[in-house]
Structure 1
Amino acid sequence: MKRDRISRAGLWAALVMVGLWPVAVGAEAVSLLGNAGFLPAPRAALLRVEGTGATGPSLFAGRAGAGLFAPRATPRAPALPLSGAHGAVARHLRDLIARAEAGPKGYDAVQHGARVAPPRPPTALTLAEIEEWIAATPGQPHAIGRYQVIPATLRRLARALDLEPQTRFSPAMQDRMADRLLAEAGLAAALAGRMSRADFMHNLARIWAGLPTASGRSHYAGVAGNRATMTWAQFEAGMAKILPL
């Protein structure tokens, strides 16, 4: 019996030493696999927009009051020089995109399918107020502004540009967001001759549904009522003036 008690004690000590026995009841489970190694397994994140009381995706995950967990950092697009000739190219591209996307309302445009409009013109709203409008009006389109930015893209751009919740959705801010998307589409490569104009045009059409592909149809034709609002010939003629071969 004495030998048996010693054997049991030895086994107990061995289990504790190698970590195979729970030291405390209710301890958080750990993951033995994956990139986390022996760190606690991640819990599902619930993000909250500060001041709204609504749960859901947040523009500002990781900031005080905005969310429990910050998302993985958005990859940075190459820096785009927007002065001189490059700035003029970006400005002309924004004008062409706005023709396809916003119509006469320009920076204050809201997707025509939105049954409930924002409480004030978009240029008078902060990013946090836009998020409140999105959360309060589920089940309708929420593309907004001169470049008809959809919620997921707006949130991603806010993170990438490190914007504060109280940043106003001003014309200058909308242009800055559009410039970021132009950079992601490959504007620097197109300007340097490393990307063909046609490839760049197709990249733009994958971002903005109002622009056509070479087929003449929107890349998102038939999805949520999307359609190209100009022909490929019109798109090509406009681009030829901006990016001549």
Structure 2
Amino acid sequence: MITMKFSIYHAQPVLDLIGKYESRGDYDIVYGGIPKSLRPKVKITSLTVRGVLTWQANIRAHGVASTAAGKYQIIYNTLKATVAQMGFNTSRVFDETVQDEMACHLLIGRGFQRYLDGAIDMESMVIGLAKEWASLPVPRDMQGPSRWLKAGQSYYAGDGLNKAHASVAEVETALAIARERYRSGAQPSAPAPDPAPAPSPAKPSSSNLLTTALIIGAAAAIIFLKG
């Protein structure tokens, strides 16, 4: 297994871009073409990873075109392979944290750590992302799985199911920000603590009130006598 040296914070610009075009950032979304009767009965972020795999296997058996689930639209075969490669505990809940961890694993598999370390260039990384996420584009004209592609198209263009939605410039910008964060060693700043509440004015005790009343009374008596 490849060691992950980057953090979620370093990868966040890329993760957010993927989520924007794969799922509108929704961790609970599933492929829109799944019939209502076959959709999960609960939010997928409340299912275990094993539960998601079982559900995906079921809809595959019903011939549904895609089993894509979650923010990163992970399909059954990819999820199954990711679990095996990561030695993942499938009793964990398929929540935001788990989905982000799995997306980072997929990034590593497409060369993200090597890109951050300068071992591969930007163009190679953009192609790697396009091969993993169909909504991201290829950066140049090239051969795809089934046809010749133009720059800006999905790597899977022509399959009747997928097309690119992000621009090449958007992908390159997200990658550049991620690399700058990584190389600078930047980490998210801790939020500033809430200011301490101002102390409430002390309430005078009954003895203080009595003393004050006696002083005021004595002063009034002196004034009366002098008058």
Q: TM-score, normalised by structure 1?
A: 0.63
How far apart in 1 are the matches of 2:89 and 2:170?
Answer: 38
How far apart in 2 are the matches of 1:164 and 1:88?
Answer: 23
Identity of matched residues, %: 30
How far apart in 1 are the matches of 2:57 and 2:177?
Answer: 41
Tell me, yes or no, if structure 1 residue 152 matches structure 2 residue 72.
no
User: Structure 2: which amino acid aligns with 1:228?
Assistant: A
Residue 30 of structure 2 aligns with which residue?
Answer: 110
Is residue 4–residue 108 contact of structure 2 (8 Å, CA) maintained in 1? yes
Map 1:1-245 → 2, pairs under 5 A? 76=1, 78-83=2-7, 87-104=8-25, 106-115=26-35, 116-137=38-59, 138-140=62-64, 141-214=66-139, 215-243=151-179
Partner SS for 2:27: helix
Is residue 13–residue 177 contact of structure 2 (8 Å, CA) maintained in 1? no
Partner SS for 1:132: helix
Is residue 197–residue 243 contact of structure 1 (8 Å, CA) maintained in 2? no
**Comparing both chains, which one has the higher relative contact order based on Cα–Cα distances under 8 Å and sequence gaps of 6 or more?**
2
User: Structure 2: which amino acid aligns with 1:222?
Assistant: G
Is residue 127–residue 165 contact of structure 1 (8 Å, CA) maintained in 2? yes
Q: CA deviation at 1:240?
A: 3.2
Deviation by residue 1:16-49 (Cα, 9 ceiling, x = unmatched): xxxxxxxxxxxxxxxxxxxxxxxxxxxxxxxxxx
User: Structure 1: which amino acid aligns with 2:115?
Assistant: A
Residue 46 of structure 1 aligns with which residue?
Answer: none
Partner SS for 1:107: coil
How far apart in 1 are the matches of 2:157 and 2:127?
Answer: 14
User: Structure 1: which amino acid aligns with 2:11?
Assistant: A
User: Structure 1: which amino acid aligns with 2:39?
Assistant: A
How far apart in 2 are the matches of 1:132 and 1:186?
Answer: 29
Q: CA deviation at 1:100?
A: 1.7
How far apart in 1 are the matches of 2:58 and 2:175?
Answer: 39
Gaps of 5+ in 1: 1-75
Deviation by residue 1:146-185 (Cα, 9 ceiling, x = unmatched): 1000100100111112223322101101111011111111
Q: CA deviation at 1:120?
A: 1.1
Residue 210 of structure 2 aligns with which residue?
Answer: none
Gaps of 5+ in 2: 140-150, 184-227
Which of the pair is proportionally richer in helix?
2
Q: Which has the larger radius of gyration?
A: 2
Deviation by residue 1:78-120 (Cα, 9 ceiling, x = unmatched): 201234xxx422122211111121115x111111122231121
Q: TM-score, normalised by structure 2?
A: 0.67
Partner SS for 2:109: helix
